[in-house]
Amino acid sequence: RTQAWNSLRRNPLDAERRIQGYINKDDLLSKMAEPDRGSVIYEKVRWIKNWIGRASLEDLERFTEFVTGQNCTPEKRITFSPLSSGLPFPKAHTCACSLDIPHGAIDRNNGSRVLRSADPEEAYSHKTEEKFIEALKDGITAGLKKGFQFA
- DSSP letter (8 states) at residue 66: H
Task: Check residue 136 and give its pLDDT.
Answer: 92
Residue 23: CB partners within 8 Å, gap ≥ 6?
Answer: 57, 60, 61, 64, 71, 72, 73
Nearest Cα neighbor of 88 from 72, 101, 74, 69 is 101
In this predicted structure, what is the pLDDT of residue 108? 47
pLDDT at 7: 59
Stretch (H or E) spanning 10: helix 2-10
φ, ψ at 6 (rounded to 5°): -65, -40
Q: How far is CA 95 from the centre of its chain?
A: 14
Tell me the pLDDT of the chain (151 aa) as tens digits.
Answer: 666 666 556 665 555 555 556 788 999 999 999 999 888 889 999 999 999 999 999 999 999 999 999 888 888 999 999 987 777 788 999 999 999 998 764 544 433 334 444 444 445 667 788 888 988 998 899 888 876 444 4
